[in-house]
Amino acid sequence: MAPRKKKTNPTNGAVKGAVKLNRAQRGKQIASFRKRQITRAAYEIIAEKGYHSFTMMDIAKRAGVSSGLIHHYFKDKENMLVTLLREMQQSIRASLEKTLEPVADPRGKLEIFMNQAFDLVENEREYIYVTFDFLTQIKFNERMQRILSKLYRGYRETLVEILREGKGKGIFIEVDEHYIATVFIALLLGIEQQYIIDSTAFFYREYTARIKNYIFDLVMVKS
């Protein structure tokens, strides 16, 4: 039997281009998945062992990949840790923004903001450990200092935005929003640190409720 002649297809080049594009997209998806897989493993290992007490092999074993693959995606240990810190920051920020988005009442937004901030120590204990571990490096690592600075600045900016919205609607009084935001972050970090060090020192839920009431007393219009 004579071989069939291949039909010419005027779109053949475009199809090949689409296939190449799809392969490129798939490659990016795989790379993104692998990076998340590795940074998740790093997150867990650092939470367990601390910043200085882990190796790249520890992370490779936890992620189920070769150490060579880790070096393929991250040029060195610092690069991987900076990526992890950024991802942690983006994840927490995205979760907060998603929760706040459907809420119209500034009072509700303020309560949600404070609740999510205080709940981290109970719901995401590893996140607190890892963040505190990274705080010890800011003297020696400018990149980590900048990322952590951006994290806290983002918290302050979100709270300032909520307070200004409440003032515009006549719900909150005229206050220095940046001062209130800075005070809240200071109270948040202080009580988290004390609770992590000694969870028996006070009733966390009771004290955070009192801090929330204190913040509301500072900003609410008195009836």
Mean pLDDT of 27-37: 80
- In this predicted structure, what is the pLDDT of residue 10? 40
Residues 6+ apart with CB under 8 A from 128: 120, 121, 192, 196
- Ranges of CATH 1.10.357.10 domains, the chain: 76-223
Rounded CA gap, 151 and 143, in Å?
13
More confident residue, 46 or 184: 184
pLDDT digits (tens, 9 = 90+) for 111-128: 999 999 999 888 877 777
Of 64-68, 139-143, 152-156, give the range with the top mean pLDDT. 152-156
More confident residue, 172 or 58: 172
Q: At what angle do helices 12-49 and 125-135 cross, to 10 degrees?
A: 80
- Ranges of CATH 1.10.10.60 domains, the chain: 17-74
CATH superfamily entry for domain 17-74:
Homeodomain-like (1.10.10.60)
Cα→Cα distances 119→93, 139, 191, 204, Å? 14, 28, 12, 10
Q: Please identify which residue in the block is written with the tokens 């070096």.
A: 71
Decide if pLDDT at 50 tops 50: yes
For the chain, what percent of residues have pLDDT higher than 70? 90
Rounded CA gap, 143 and 132, in Å?
16
- For domain 76-223, which architecture applies? Orthogonal Bundle (1.10)
- In this predicted structure, what is the pLDDT of residue 160? 96
pLDDT digits (tens, 9 = 90+) for 5-23: 444 444 344 444 444 557 7
More confident residue, 98 or 147: 98
